[in-house]
Amino acid sequence: MLKMAGDEELEAIRRQKYEQMQQEPAGTAAAEQKRQEIEETKKNIIRQILTSEARERLNTIRMTKPELAEQLEAQLIALAQTGRLKSMITDEQFKEILRQIMPKKREISIKRV
């Protein structure tokens, strides 16, 4: 009798794990779809607020420094959503924003004695 109860419990645990495994991909797919929708919305907003040259510069930055590109996008989108942007940002304006955001580089010189 004890062996049967143990087998039933084991079977119940297996069924529960199997059901969890079936539900996980559906949740992952929904999260992935939501992430893609957010990315598409961000791209549309960036298209509306940056000129093509400025977008090219942002994409170049994304290849070398993805974290900086994400930060820039977030700041630009925030500016656009709060209504602080009056017109599209040109490449020159975007360069100026980059100069303000980027930390100052230090001059390092090595002197050999």
What is the phi/psi pair of residue 50, to 5°?
A: -115, 140
In a domain, 98, yes or no: no
Number of domains in the chain: 1
Predicted model pTM: 0.63
Q: Are 46 and 73 in contact (CB under 8 A)?
A: yes
CATH number of the domain enclosing 77: 1.10.8
In a domain, 96, yes or no: no
Of residues 14, 80, 12, the one with CA closest to residue 41 = 80
Per the structure, the complete domain to which residue 37 belongs is given by: 2-81
pLDDT tens-digit profile of 6-18?
677 778 888 888 8
In a domain, 66, yes or no: yes
In a domain, 113, yes or no: no
In a domain, 107, yes or no: no
Q: What is the pLDDT along the chain (113 residues), one digit of tens a residue?
A: 444 556 777 788 888 888 777 776 666 777 888 889 988 998 998 999 999 999 999 999 999 999 999 999 998 988 888 888 888 999 999 999 888 887 777 778 888 88
pLDDT tens-digit profile of 60-71?
999 999 999 999
In a domain, 110, yes or no: no
Q: How far apart are CA 29 and CA 42, in angstroms?
A: 20
In a domain, 22, yes or no: yes
Q: Are 50 and 98 in contact (CB under 8 A)?
A: no
